[in-house]
């Protein structure tokens, strides 16, 4: 109403009386206010923004297509969490996917260009930092899930990556007496990979053991399968594998099975994520259970807080880190869940 009052040259209370059809306003003033109101309604119709609040009451959720396919379990539960919070606070959820090819262009996402959303959640480490930073230039509220851009003043929600992998690696060393342990990692640019690698390195250093790390362009079942064959060829003495996620871990177990190395008798394998089939896979996978839906809820709540706070409130970026739970199953050499 303030914008209408400014254009019409009247007070906000006058605008309120006109829009609520109250008496005591001259016909000329009433017509001028209503004409301006109709103009704003017409313009706001392009973006779906409320003519008074300027909001769309819509949250944008952006994922990389690879994140959806490679991390379906996590993506699904993240999205459910965001959706539940959006519903609770009266927001709609608009989801879109990007590819490497799209991010190589200078094109702006339609939901941003057309101002269809009040804020955006970027999900996963696969999304290029340049796309996120370009979006941030528009003063659009942003929250990241499983990603972090240091020094950019953006809020993020992360898993307990480093500590969880440290615990897994230490378990292999202390409980099962492994000395030759390989870490199968994804791209160094992904924060989750870097933090999990750090946990592995710290556990190996504490035990005075040499770190052995293989980097993969993708963290899929196929990449785990192919990389595991290279690991055994290069390090035939290897007795344990810490995989950056469950897809890589199950791919590694399949490769071990094909090469005639029983798991865990010959090579122990552990993963990260606790995706749906890991407890029914053979052998059941030792892994880290993450609370993906809760991460989505935290991200949604934080984004709505930023939207509702507006530009007048000082923005102090937050890093929210969710605890995780290690599940010891038989793929590491344990007898069952504990």
The domain spanning residue 145 has which CATH number?
A: 3.40.50.2300
Least confident of 23-27, 186-190, 250-254, 313-317: 313-317
pLDDT digits (tens, 9 = 90+) for 91-122: 999 988 888 777 766 666 778 777 889 999 99
- On whether residue 53 sits in a domain, the answer given is no
| H-assigned helices in 71-190 | 72-88, 100-103, 110-113, 129-136, 161-174
Tally of CB atoms within 10 A around 26: 9
Domain boundaries, position 23 = 2-47
- On whether residue 52 sits in a domain, the answer given is no
- On whether residue 176 sits in a domain, the answer given is yes
In sign, the C-alpha dihedral spanning 149, 290, 96, 221 is positive
DSSP 3-state assignment of 241?
A: strand
> In total, how many domains does the chain have?
3
Q: Write down the pLDDT at residue 277.
A: 85
37-74: b (≥16 Cβ within 10 Å) or e:
beebeeebeeeebebbeebbbbbbbbbbebbbebbebb
Pairing of strands 325-327, 287-289: antiparallel
- On whether residue 12 sits in a domain, the answer given is yes
As a whole number, mean pLDDT of residues 53-65 equals 83
Asked if residues 241 and 252 have their Cβ atoms less than 8 Å apart, the reply is yes
pLDDT digits (tens, 9 = 90+) for 120-130: 999 988 888 88
If one compares 208 and 102, the residue with the highest pLDDT of the two is: 208
For the cut 50, the answer to whether the pLDDT of residue 142 exceeds it is yes
Q: Helix 27-47 crosses helix 12-19 at what angle (to 10 degrees)?
A: 80
**What is this structure's pTM?**
0.80
If one compares 292 and 21, the residue with the highest pLDDT of the two is: 292
Mean pLDDT of the chain: 88
Pairing of strands 240-243, 181-185: parallel
The answer on 73 and 33 residing in a single domain is no
User: CATH code at 12?
Assistant: 1.10.260
The residues, ordered by sequence, that sit 6+ positions from 221 with a Cβ below 8 Å of its Cβ are 247, 248, 250, 251, 254
The answer on 90 and 209 residing in a single domain is no
The residues, ordered by sequence, that sit 6+ positions from 57 with a Cβ below 8 Å of its Cβ are 50, 90, 91, 92, 118
Q: Write down the pLDDT at residue 66.
A: 67
């Amino acid at each position: 109403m303030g914008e209408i009052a400014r254009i019409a040259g009247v007070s906000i209370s006058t605008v309120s009386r006109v829009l609520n059809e109250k008496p005591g306003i001259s016909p000329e003033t009433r017509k001028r206010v209503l004409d301006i109101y109709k103009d704003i309604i017409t313009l706001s119709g392009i973006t779906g923004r409320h003519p008074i609040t300027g909001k769309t009451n819509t949250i944008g959720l952006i994922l990389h297509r690879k994140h959806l396919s490679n991390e379906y379990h996590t993506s699904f539960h993240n999205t459910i969490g965001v959706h539940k919070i959006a519903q609770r606070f009266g927001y709609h959820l608009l989801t879109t996917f990007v590819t490497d090819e799209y991010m190589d262009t200078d094109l702006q996402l339609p939901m941003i260009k057309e101002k269809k959303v009040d804020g955006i959640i970027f999900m996963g480490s696969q999304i290029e930092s340049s796309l996120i930073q370009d979006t941030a230039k528009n003063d659009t509220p942003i929250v990241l899930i499983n990603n972090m851009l240091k020094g950019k003043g953006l809020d993020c929600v992360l898993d307990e990556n480093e500590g969880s992998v440290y615990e897994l690696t230490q378990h292999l060393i202390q409980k099962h007496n492994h000395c030759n342990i390989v870490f199968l990692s994804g791209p160094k640019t992904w924060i989750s990979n870097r933090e999990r690698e750090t946990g592995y390195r710290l556990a190996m250093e504490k035990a005075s053991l040499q770190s052995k790390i293989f980097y993969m362009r993708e963290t899929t079942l196929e990449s785990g399968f192919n990389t595991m064959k290279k690991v055994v060829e290069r390090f035939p003495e290897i007795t344990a594998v810490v995989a950056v996620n469950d897809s890589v871990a199950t791919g590694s177990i399949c490769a071990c099975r094909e090469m005639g190395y029983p798991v865990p008798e010959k090579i122990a394998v552990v993963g990260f994520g606790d995706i749906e089939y890991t407890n029914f896979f053979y052998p059941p996978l030792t892994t880290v259970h993450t609370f993906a839906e809760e991460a989505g809820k935290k991200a949604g709540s934080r984004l709505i807080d930023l939207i509702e706070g507006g530009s007048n409130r000082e923005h102090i970026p937050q890093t929210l880190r969710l605890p995780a739970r290690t599940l010891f199953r038989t793929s590491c050499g344990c007898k069952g869940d504990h």
